[in-house]
């Protein structure tokens, strides 16, 4: 007789976009949840911590993940969970052997284990780079660990940070990498039309301080001066602190400034087209806990240039040149090298990137998470 399936309640809140602007955390939840739902040893259900998304969250779940319970206001329960174990998961989402808080916040569980995913520790490493809500995440993680939760991180780099900065015992922290989103068939012709250029450097992601797009603008300036057909396209919504990006663009000479395009948020189809048509993806971050966009670019056959920030050396390995954080000259030089690739040289870089991106699968992610769920459930049993 097969053993009973482990009932796992997964926080699906990051899937609620209220406008279509899915974050990297949302991409993780979508990929992991769909793969988890196919594992025969798991009974996967989903809950939500959202008030604004209470009418839509059940409709954005991937196949196989069943919604349970009622959506509860995130800010209210987070504030309560900092001080107590009320309300427990069972009160709003029913029984579970394990609760997985996919975005730092793991609910108290009366009879079961818990896992909290820590994507990065920006609030501790760079507190000036986060908004007020995110500043509470480390405290919420520590409160969950004090209640017995395990911690999942997407990289060994962040796992070490959780041990060093939060004081979580190493045996309760497990690194399981994300998968790479499947390569969508973007149209390079449409991408170049949207960019308004045959050759362009692309950056993908919210315009916010952690992404260091002002450095990219400054690195682009000497490249554009020597290449009249080159453009810079930044595809992502303007977040908090985007004024620094605007100021960097405004400081460019007029002829170069006109070749920088900030699209704002773009739907998935246009984003895929822009990726397909790009000459190179630039990822100049100050700090990263994983780094999905570079892997997406590699899967799409686009060379990548990134900074050696946080986990990026671990995640990207030798598949992309990495430059020191904040070194604008080195960034410009690496971008120039990628732009100069042609023929067999570019083919080799593209092939290596595709192979590297393909090594990150959601099936492997789900297998690692399932093993962690087993440990969390076992540790929660009486007498353990």
The residue written with tokens 């594992």 in the block is: 39
Q: What is the mean pLDDT of residues 207-236?
A: 95
Please say if the pLDDT value at position 109 is more than 80: yes
Q: Write down the pLDDT at residue 381.
A: 80
Provide the residue range defining the domain that includes 340.
188-358
205 and 306 inside one domain: yes
pLDDT, one tens digit per residue, over 304-320 is: 999 999 999 999 999 99
**Any idea what the CATH number is for the domain that residue 126 is in?**
3.40.50.2000
130, part of any domain: yes
Task: Determine if the pTM surpasses 0.85.
Answer: yes
Whether 202 and 118 map to the same domain: the answer is: no
Percent over 90 (pLDDT), the chain: 81
Query: What is the mean predicted confidence (pLDDT) over 104-111?
Result: 95
Note whether 115 and 146 are same-domain residues. yes
User: In the chain, which ranges are E strands?
Assistant: 6-11, 42-47, 66-67, 98-101, 113-117, 150-153, 173-175, 199-204, 230-235, 260-264, 280-283, 304-307, 322-323
pLDDT digits (tens, 9 = 90+) for 32-63: 999 999 999 999 999 999 888 888 888 889 88
Confidence of residue 21 (pLDDT cuts 50, 70, 90): low
The total domain count for the chain is 2
* Whether 120 and 268 share a structural domain: no
Name the burial class of residue 19, with classes exposed (0-12), middle (13-18) and buried (19+) by CB atoms within 10 angstroms of its CB: exposed
- Residue 353: name the closest of 286, 285, 283, 288 by CA: 283
Q: Is the per-residue pLDDT at 181 higher than 90?
A: no
pLDDT on residue 17: 73
Residue 383 is predicted with a pLDDT of 54
Take residue 99 and report the two structure tokens written for it.
């609760």
First to last CA, the chain: 25
Among candidate residues 139, 130, 83, 97, the one with its CA nearest the CA of residue 4: 97
pLDDT in tens, 281-304: 999 999 999 999 999 999 999 999
Residues 72-94, mean pLDDT to the nearest whole number: 93
Whether residue 92 sits in one domain with residue 41: yes
Confidence of residue 64 (pLDDT cuts 50, 70, 90): confident
The mean pLDDT of 253-278, rounded to a whole number, is 93
C-beta separation of 274 from 186 below 8 A: yes
């Amino acid at each position: 007789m097969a053993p009973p399936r482990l009932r796992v309640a997964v926080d699906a809140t990051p899937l609620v976009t209220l406008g279509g602007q899915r974050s990297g955390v949302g991409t993780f939840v979508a990929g992991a949840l769909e793969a988890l739902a196919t594992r025969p040893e798991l009974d996967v259900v989903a809950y939500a911590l959202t008030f604004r998304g209470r009418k839509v969250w059940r409709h954005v779940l991937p196949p196989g993940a069943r919604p349970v319970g009622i959506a509860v206001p995130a800010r209210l329960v987070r504030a309560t969970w900092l001080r107590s174990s009320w309300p427990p998961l069972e009160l709003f989402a029913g029984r579970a052997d394990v609760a997985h808080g996919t975005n730092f916040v793991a609910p108290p569980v009366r009879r079961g284990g818990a896992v909290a995913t820590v994507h990065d520790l920006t609030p501790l490493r760079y507190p000036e780079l986060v908004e007020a809500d995110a500043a509470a995440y480390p405290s919420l993680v520590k409160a969950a660990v004090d209640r017995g939760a395990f911690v999942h991180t997407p990289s060994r780099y962040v796992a070490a940070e959780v041990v060093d900065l939060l004081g979580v015992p190493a045996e309760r922290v497990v690194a399981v990498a994300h998968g790479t989103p499947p390569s969508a068939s973007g149209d390079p012709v449409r991408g170049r039309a949207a960019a308004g250029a045959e050759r362009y450097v692309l950056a993908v992601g919210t315009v916010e301080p952690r992404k260091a797009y002002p450095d990219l603008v400054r690195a682009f300036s000497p490249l554009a001066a020597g290449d009249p057909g080159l453009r810079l396209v930044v595809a992502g919504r303007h977040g908090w602190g985007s004024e620094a990006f605007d100021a960097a663009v405004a400081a460019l000479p007029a002829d170069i400034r006109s070749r920088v395009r900030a699209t704002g948020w773009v739907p998935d189809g246009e984003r895929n087209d822009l990726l397909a048509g790009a000459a190179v993806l630039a990822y100049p971050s100050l700090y990263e806990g994983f780094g999905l966009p570079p892997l997406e670019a590699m899967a799409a056959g686009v060379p990548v240039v990134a900074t050696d920030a946080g986990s990026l050396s671990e995640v990207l390995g030798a598949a992309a040149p990495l430059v020191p954080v904040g070194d604008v000259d080195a960034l410009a030089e690496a971008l120039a090298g990628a732009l100069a690739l042609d023929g067999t040289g570019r083919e080799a870089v593209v092939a290596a990137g595709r192979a590297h991106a393909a090594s990150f699968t959601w099936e492997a992610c789900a297998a690692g998470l399932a093993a962690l769920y087993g440990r969390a459930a076992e540790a929660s049993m009486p007498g353990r």
